[in-house]
Amino acid sequence: MVVPLKFWAVVPAAGSSRRMGDSIVPKQYLSLAGKTVLEWSLAPLLARQECAGVVVALSADDRRWSTLAVSRDPRVSAVMGGVERAHSVHAGLQSLHLDDDAWVLVHDAARPCLSAQEVDALLTMLAHDPVGGLLAAPVVDTLKRTDAAGRVIETVNREGLWRALTPQMFRYGVLARALHRARERGVAVTDEAQAVEGMGLQPRVVAGRPDNIKITLPEDLARAERILAEQENISP
């Protein structure tokens, strides 16, 4: 009998909506198919029996989290996040007090289309990996590099290039040390894998779905609603 891989999750949700136009509501709290974006993002994690707990890192002035039913889930807790994503993740990790070998998944609060199949793949592929890794999608578009004037100076070879997605899954000890090291050195990491790379380690890529999108622009909401409807229709 295979024992399910227990994990904890950290969800940084302290960000603002700088690219959402006139919206005064942080993107994680925008309405999407009858729920908030954040509720959709948490649902695939809390649906797993392997999920031992989830920490949501919030901004200091958050007044919306406590109004959500999910905030009262016994497996869910909240901490104050930081200005940068890495600070929020680090705060979430510190609140967990886990053994170094415990698995932690970090998932974007504004990535509502994570599928159960992706979580399956991540847990299965990384269960015995010595480093950990991340969901990612191969780059399929032609890439151009431009100069300061917006003129193309080269076409970038896309072979071996992947778009980093979330969740990203690492051992508690490795991730905590990696984020601490990056902060001490003044390195502004944009995801957890980059921090782990800074330790001289090589995270493993697990193929994710291209429609595991992050809500960034207003038009992303309509796209996410279509994706969620499609996932609902194909679910067994």
Asked if the model's pLDDT at residue 49 lies above 80, the reply is: yes
Instruction: Give the pLDDT confidence of 134-169 residue by residue, as tens digits.
Output: 999 999 999 999 999 999 999 999 999 999 999 999
pLDDT (mean) for 200-226: 96
Asked if the model's pLDDT at residue 216 lies above 50, the reply is: yes
How many distinct structural domains can be found in the chain? 1
**Which pLDDT does position 235 carry in this prediction?**
55
* 57 part of a folded domain: yes
Q: Are 92 and 12 in contact (CB under 8 A)?
A: yes
CA pair distance 132, 200, nearest whole angstrom: 13
Give me the percent of the chain exceeding a pLDDT of 90.
Answer: 90
Its pTM stands at 0.93
* 1 part of a folded domain: no
Q: Are 35 and 28 in contact (CB under 8 A)?
A: no
**Which pLDDT does position 64 carry in this prediction?**
96
Instruction: Give the pLDDT confidence of 13-27 residue by residue, as tens digits.
Output: 997 655 555 558 899
Locus of tokens 């609140």? 95
Instruction: Give the pLDDT confidence of 70-112 residue by residue, as tens digits.
Output: 999 999 999 999 989 999 999 999 999 999 999 999 999 999 9
Asked if the model's pLDDT at residue 236 lies above 70, the reply is: no
| Structure tokens belonging to residue 85 | 């994503």
* 61 part of a folded domain: yes
Phi, psi of 194 (to 5 degrees): -65, -40
* 82 part of a folded domain: yes
Q: What is the average pLDDT score of the chain?
A: 93
Asked if the model's pLDDT at residue 186 lies above 80, the reply is: yes
Q: What is the DSSP string of 25-75?
A: S-GGGSEETTEEHHHHHHHHHHT-TTEEEEEEEE-TT--SGGGSGGGG-TT
pLDDT (mean) for 43-51: 97
**Which pLDDT does position 232 carry in this prediction?**
79
CATH of the domain at 220: 3.90.550.10
Range of the domain at 172: 7-234
| Structure tokens belonging to residue 201 | 């380690």
